[in-house]
Chain A
């Protein structure tokens, strides 16, 4: 015969059982000794009256039980909204199966068993949901306007490249070396075999030309 808790458990059965829940749960709210016993038998009375349809007693019971359940939930989760949802889940469960409470038995084990079971279930479910979710990172962010999300194929970059290609060869080379490849004037002069002064002139003209080409394009558009 499997071990069942004795019919008349000691006053602090609340913190002793059930075996999985009671070891580390339930001490803080109950103090010890006579106070805990009084509170528990009080809750037992309230629940008995709630079963008979006394909504005032039921409200008092739930208001007193909620902080206790919260203290159990806080030990298992740090997220305040998780804790509150778990508490509500426990309260709903108590409501749904309040007919299973037998006032001849202590209230504590009944409450702790329900709370423990529902909180553990709730956190497990929460963990499963979270494992399927992916946090948004800055690179996932986007803007609602369409042009911001269009890639290179149809963007300004393509127009700029075309404009650069349409420049005279000396100006094109100057732009490519100095602006696109970001060389210094000295390096560019060495690569292209022209003087620094003529590079400067070519760049100046190229920028002017590009401005003219791109301005014309945007006026067209």
Chain B
């Protein structure tokens, strides 16, 4: 262990100018813009599902898609808020109502799908295409969000990663319900929350080392 005055000297000597982070709401808006761009590009390349307008008349579907989108937006805001040290640690509660609404519609869809399609009714081809959309949406969004929130690693890695993953999951789910006819919410959640768990574990393992390296 080096002496604290020596550490202070070393840190002061490496005090290069830093660019202040923009306000969290601005940064959240920027990321949501990136998300809209990714989803828009996918819409151009994959095409919107044919029965979208028809489905939007179904109130359950409309509520589900609105709740998903709202979850995405609120989770993004809460991720950027909770990543800062001097903001309340209760920000992760912000998307909770939207999440409850979203999850309750998943339950309903699962039930109706069971009744209408029957257990073997989902074609492999559609599932695979669904998965492709899922990866194409969530990978770039996760990367961008991870870069933007990396400074939270030494502070609240768990809450930030959870909120970030929820945001990505919700945006991905919105994209999927625009493009594909099957409900892949469970797959999306497993995929994204699994990734969140991975990020949290990695953060715990390499976070401090990364921090010391960054501070050098």
Contact = CB atoms under 8 A, between A and B. Distances in A.
B11 A91 contact: yes
Nearest to B8: A62
A51 B15 CA distance: 8
Contacts of A53: 15-17
A212 interface: no
A134 interface: no
B12 A58 contact: yes
A84 to B, nearest CB: 6
Q: How large is the interface on B (under 10, 10 to 19, 20 to 34, 35 or more residues)?
A: 35 or more
Given A113-B155, A114-B155, A102 B20 contact: yes
Residue of B11, B23, B211 ringed by the most chain A CB atoms within 10 A: B11
Contacts of B155: 93, 97, 113-114, 117
B89 A96 contact: no
Interface in A72-114: 81, 84-85, 87-88, 91-93, 95-103, 105-106, 109-110, 113-114
Nearest to A56: B12
A15 interface: no
B15 A96 contact: no
B215 A113 contact: no
Q: How large is the interface on A (under 10, 10 to 19, 20 to 34, 35 or more residues)?
A: 35 or more
A55 B154 contact: no
A4 B88 contact: yes
A66 B15 contact: no
19 contacts: A2-B88, A2-B93, A2-B94, A3-B88, A4-B81, A4-B88, A18-B88, A50-B15, A55-B12, A56-B12, A62-B12, A81-B1, A91-B4, A93-B155, A96-B211, A100-B83, A105-B86, A109-B86, A117-B156
Interface of B: 1-2, 4-5, 7-9, 11-21, 23, 78, 81, 83-94, 151, 154-156, 208, 211-212, 214-215
Given A3-B90, A62-B11, A114-B154, 10 more contacts: A17-B86, A62-B8, A66-B4, A81-B1, A85-B1, A87-B4, A93-B155, A95-B11, A100-B21, A102-B23
